[in-house]
Amino acid sequence: MPEVTISLGGSDEELAIFGSRDQYLRLVRDAFGVKILPRHGVVRIEGDVERVEQARQVVEVLRDLYRRQQPINVGVVTESIESIQTPDTSEPSDTIELREGNRVVRPRSDGQNRYLKALRDFELVFCVGPAGTGKTYLAVAMAVSALRRGKIKKIVLVRPAVEAGEHLGFLPGDLEAKINPYLRPLLDALHDLMDYEQIRRYISNDLIEIAPLAYMRGRTLNDAIIILDEGQNATIPQMKMFLTRMGQNARIVVTGDVTQVDLPPSSTSGLADAVDRLRVVPGVGTVFLDKSDIVRHPLVQAIVNAYESAEPVKEGGSRAAAAASDHPPPAGSAASG
């Protein structure tokens, strides 16, 4: 009968991979119909050749996760089993499978498909497009998928602390409370992909870090995916500082909408500058999305169309006011101020 033997590195590693009362090994055994025999630092797997190979891959994935100091639980074991049982037969760029229950994230437009291909093929990716095109969501989804599969050790989510046309003044609370409003969109993307306990555990174990752009200075990030959201609100010096944080086995994704720059009029958007400056550099991919790629509520696309096609409002007036003057209120009615 075909068999393989896998060596383990001590009792702590065995406990992490076997689970309490060997529950993780039983999951693997039942999933592939093999015999698994744990013996003093080794695991022997017996059965059909193909099934033995699949079970071996799962055990080695769990061993790699432990050695990377990443958590192992029933969900992680189940995800590993399912990823081996159901290999992705489509192009890797066409589907991201995050084994969170039955959730599967797929591109919903040609532009998003190009974006996922760029995320797969390039170490530095710029994605420029209007609101609702999935720029941040797909980047975070790809990063979570890579982290869960052990391809990287950390996700770093970054955002400039720039207010969108309003001055919020001094925010109450400690530093975390002060920067939370700026980082909220990144947390929203995470919450849609992972449950609250997973996010809290990953953040507490420093597997996921969420930080303002100013905190990136002086760092070198290895074995990580670093995502800069709202990159149009980074200045040119800030963008240069951020892009040079890339270490070994690291990937950087910068997303933004160059039509929604919240910088002072005297400042040039670092995103627009970087896209132009780095367009011929090998290893850099740039994807432009448009309103046809919007996947939020159908009204979002209509709103974008309205703002793009409308004539500028003349100073001192508005279309709403003009419409009201064409239809004055009937006699005796009250006019609001």
pLDDT in tens, 62-83: 888 888 888 888 888 888 888 7
Record the tokens describing residue 9, joined without a space.
């590195």
The CA distance from 116 to 287, in Å, is 10
Strand partners for 45: 4, 36
Interior angle at CA 248, CA 72 and CA 201, nearest 5 = 25
Q: What is the DSSP string of 121-181?
A: H-SEEEEE--TTS-HHHHHHHHHHHHHHTTS-SEEEEEE----SSS---SPPSSHHHHHHH
Q: Which of 236, 229, 230, 233 is nearest to 263 (CA)?
A: 233
| Cα of 212 vs its chain's centroid, Å | 16
**Distances, alpha carbon 136 to alpha carbons 15, 85, 202, 296, in Å:** 37, 30, 19, 13
**307, containing H or E segment:** helix 298-309
Q: What is the DSSP string of 78-129?
A: HHHHHHHHS---S-TTT-B---STT--B---SHHHHHHHHHHHH-SEEEEE-
The CA distance from 114 to 258, in Å, is 19
Record the tokens describing residue 20, joined without a space.
């309490």
Question: pLDDT under 50 in the chain at which residues?
Answer: 88-94, 97-98, 100-102, 163-169, 171, 315-325, 327, 329-337
Contact 242, 124 (CB under 8 A): no
Contacts of 31 (CB under 8 A, 6+ apart): 55, 58, 81, 85
Contact 231, 255 (CB under 8 A): yes
The CA distance from 183 to 229, in Å, is 9
The CA distance from 106 to 178, in Å, is 34
Long-range contacts of 242-245 (CB under 8 A, 24+ apart): 242/158, 242/213, 242/216, 243/124, 243/274, 245/216, 245/219, 245/220, 245/221
Phi-psi region of 3 (alpha: psi -120 to 50; beta: other; left: phi over 0): beta
Amino acid at 178: K
The CA distance from 20 to 7, in Å, is 19
Record the tokens describing residue 156, joined without a space.
């770093």
